[in-house]
Amino acid sequence: MNTPQKTKHLCLGQWGEDLALVYLRDLGYQILDRNWRMGHKELDIIALDSKELVAVEVKSRTEPILDSPERSVDRNKQRNLISAAHAYVRYKKLSFAVRFDIIWVSVKKDGSYNIRHYKDAFIPLL
């Protein structure tokens, strides 16, 4: 059962993903999938930017923010995203290069928000 805090967190995450989706569409990205899962691993948004496949991790936080995109998408999370993206490419039989972006949505107490887009947020290491 979800606690009120967990439900609030899930609502914030969903809202942040909705904002990120609109933001990417406005930039001309073609959205291919959302919340694509492979086992317990998930890709928030998969999109095409020109001829590049983009796996987007969305992080939504209320201010004051105590962490950063770099800390919230640590090496373990990166490995999961890389693994899920590779599975997505195989499953869909795609031949695009994959880029990993983070979209950071910070929400103020008055309900206003900021979106920061970190392209090539990390590079998959072999």
Note if the pTM is more than 0.85.
yes
| Res 126: pLDDT | 54
CATH (residue range 4-118): 3.40.1350.10
Half-sphere exposure of 45 (CA within 13 A, CB side): 26
DSSP assignment letter at 64? S
Q: Is 103 in contact with 111 (CB distance < 8 Å)?
A: no
Asked whether 81 and 103 are in contact (CB, 8 A), the reply is: no
pLDDT band at 125; cut points 50, 70, 90: confident
Sheet holding 97-107, edge to edge: 30-38, 41-49, 52-62, 97-107, 113-118
DSSP summary character for residue 51: T
Residue 6 has pLDDT above 50, yes or no: no
The pLDDT value recorded for residue 10 is: 55
